[in-house]
Homo-oligomer: A and B are copies of this chain.
Amino acid sequence: MATQKKARVTIKDVAQLAGVSPSTVSFVINNVKHQSISPETRKRILQCADQLGYRPHYYASSIRNGKSHTIGVVTTYRVNSMYFLDLINGVMAETDQEGYGVVICPHAGKGEGLSTSFLDYFREGRIDGVVFISSAHSEEKSHECDYISLFRKHEIPFSVIYGYTDFPGVCYANTNFYEDGRRAARLLISRGCQRIGYVAALDKDNRTPYMPKTEQDRIDGYIAALREAGLSHHLFMFPRDFHAGDYTALTCEVKNLHADGFITCWATFGLQMLTLLREVGQRVPEDTRMISLDSLPYLSHTAPALSAMRMPFYEMARCGTRMLVDQLNQRPIDQPRMLFDATMEERTSTL
């Protein structure tokens, strides 16, 4: 005779083995308050459950108490940004602790426009709420609003991570862009820099400045720090991937400034600037110091190693997730608008 298909161990099996009713087992397993259980019974039940390797069927209990105990992660962009690693880790750190599950709501189709898979997930009872990962520093301005109105229309609990809108009653876990710019500038100043340039980006058309509010915030912070120190500011707008094209004009610009410090809006710009400075014979950090306002995972291996501000994605994700879970459990949220600072990763380029 063939091996019997190993059947699921149910609450009934445990009840039978322990000689009690299923409900008693349920009470014990779930540690129900206001339900007294004699110590012996409790112990016996726990033992039996253990012995049989019993685990409550997640879906069955979910269906009964009307909560999936799972949250959905919704992203505006496809899941290919490096930030996503920190984000997912942050989300999971919090959900693990709270006994929630996580599912990533997939981007239907090619990925343009807003993806509404979360809506199906919600209506199918697979998620109780959404951690919405926005994209404060990118162009897709309008989408955050669209998503938020969808959440509201369908009464889906949610929190926003890395967002740029500012709706009352909505929970945000954001980055403190102003402080990032300010701290980077202060670091350079503390290293003795006097002429500090800020390298920002042109838009994809290589003409108009790429200036979302977040970038403006950083620049404001940079300017504020310089002003405090009695220094004047110098703003450059460089095309993306300028190193791929002809950038002699930019080289002149940079030379003319005689800067002894640079802040770049992105690490990719920082890398390109390092090359540019080497080409014009300026040593980093001896002649010119440099720090970028976001980070990459291998900056310690560039030459010189590029200092950077690591964006606080892990922290934002934890916080945003916690706020969502608090909502789901009707716990009060003390501070619905949280700002996180980047972490300074100081390396050779600012020593």
Contacts and interface: CB of A to CB of B under 8 A. Distances in A.
Considering residues A53, A57, A301, A303, which has the most beta carbons from chain B within 10 angstroms of its beta carbon?
A301
A328 interface: no
A14 interface: no
A349 to B, nearest CB: 13
A189 interface: no
A159 B191 CA distance: 53
B89 A80 contact: yes
In which size bucket is the chain A interface?
35 or more
Interface string A77-105: 01110101100110010011000011110
Contacts of A70: 103
A268 B57 contact: no
Report copies per complex.
Answer: 2
Contact of A301 (B63, B78, B271, B301): B271
Contacts of A101: 103, 126
A265 B274 CA distance: 25
A131 to B, nearest CB: 14
Contacts of A24: none
Interface in A197-242: 241
Contact of A272 (B60, B267, B275, B301): B301
A6 interface: yes
Nearest to A267: B298
B92 A106 contact: yes
B55 A297 contact: no
A124 B55 contact: yes
Contacts of A167: none
Interface string A227-271: 000000000000001011000000000000000000000011001
A100 to B, nearest CB: 10
Interface string A19-54: 000000000000000000000000000000000010
A4 B179 CA distance: 44
Contact of A80 (B85, B243, B267): B85
A192 interface: no
Interface string A265-298: 0011001101100100000000000000000111
Contacts of A120: 55
Nearest to A301: B271
Listed from nearest, the 7 A-B pairs whose CB atoms lie closest are: A275-B303, A59-B59, A55-B123, A58-B124, A271-B301, A57-B125, A58-B126
Interface of A: 6, 8-9, 53, 55-60, 62-63, 68, 70, 78-80, 82, 84-85, 88-89, 92, 95-96, 101-104, 106, 108, 120, 123-126, 155, 241, 243-244, 267-268, 271-272, 274-275, 278, 296-298, 300-303
24 contacts: A8-B125, A55-B123, A56-B124, A57-B63, A58-B125, A63-B63, A70-B103, A80-B85, A82-B297, A95-B106, A96-B106, A96-B108, A101-B126, A102-B103, A103-B103, A104-B104, A243-B303, A267-B298, A268-B298, A268-B301, A271-B303, A274-B303, A275-B302, A297-B297
